[in-house]
Amino acid sequence: MIQARNRYFDRAPARIAIAAVIFALASGCATTNGDSRDPFEAFNRTMYGFNQAVDEAVLKPVAGAYKSTLPEIVQSGVRNFFSNIADIFISANNLLQGKVFDAANDGMRFAINTTIGGLGLLDWASEMGLEKHNEDFGQTFGRWGIGDGPYIVWPIFGPSTARDSLGQVIDVWVDPVRTHRSGTPRTAMYLTRLVGKRADLLDASRILEEAALDKYVFERDAYLQRRRNLIYDGNPPRDSARNTPSEGGVAVVSASVRANGEVQNADRR
């Protein structure tokens, strides 16, 4: 069974790429009476409801048990370990975006935390003043001028866009966890990373439940605005975007967006 799950994860990038291309091509002839960024709203709402159901039935209870059972020092070690792995690809994406200084910073973070930080279990780099960044291949494509494409909510993988979906294919493909040869440790790392991240977002998701009448619209707008802010490093050009929540709302909802799409985030690094 484990081998079957691993084969699924190995083939997932190809499935995402094919589906993303189909959606991107279809967007040219799709019509909608709602938000032009979301031409597949009916499909997306169905997938959003499915993901919410999975989260409520499985991820949220398991994450709650994880958070209440394990000591904070263990949770912090798990968080730091996978964050350290991510720094490798954050550095690569900063370099691809021409941010040489930030790329060097992230490389130093990985070197320090992997050595004196005990394979990343301790985050000595932050204590030394080396800033933690957030970059991925979707952001790199955005910096290269590739547009968002239609908004898409993937089953299990969560919210994305056509451009970010293609970026996620690369994120998943180069993930050291995915490429780990041994099946059982690889599956354990997938699950541990997923549950740990979901546990970190429990408080944010509770706030969201009280924050919006239409959570789908609120999360969609927050996701798109957050991605735009990330691409432009917090200083996006002014445009005519409408129905976007406040910065405070984005902070809360973007965390919940990640909660609904944590399988995606877990598979990316």
Q: Is 120 part of any domain?
A: no
Q: Is 91 part of any domain?
A: no
Give the up-direction half-sphere exposure of residue 179: CA atoms within 13 A in the CB hemisphere: 10
Q: Which residue shows structure tokens 């910073």?
A: 105
- Tally of domains in the chain: 1
Dist. CA 256–CA 55, nearest whole Å: 11
H or E segment and range at residue 244: none
Q: Is 85 part of any domain?
A: no
Q: Is 239 part of any domain?
A: yes
> What's residue 262's pLDDT?
43
Q: Is 116 part of any domain?
A: no
- Which token pair is 260? 């609904």
pLDDT along the chain (269 residues), means of 10: 45 49 45 80 97 96 96 96 96 98 98 97 97 97 97 95 96 86 83 94 80 85 95 84 46 48 42
> What's residue 249's pLDDT?
47
> What's residue 179's pLDDT?
78
> What's residue 210's pLDDT?
75
| DSSP assignment string, 26-83 | HTTT---SS-TT-TTHHHHHHHHHHHHHHIIIIIHHHHHHHHHHS-HHHHHHHHHHHH
> What's residue 99's pLDDT?
97
Global pTM reads: 0.77
> What's residue 212's pLDDT?
64
Domain that holds residue 234: 2-69+143-268
> What's residue 184's pLDDT?
84
Dist. CA 17–CA 209, nearest whole Å: 32
- Which token pair is 149? 């494409």
Locate the DSSP E strands across the chain. Answer: 151-154, 158-161
Q: Is 123 part of any domain?
A: no
H or E segment and range at residue 16: helix 2-26
Q: Is 250 part of any domain?
A: yes
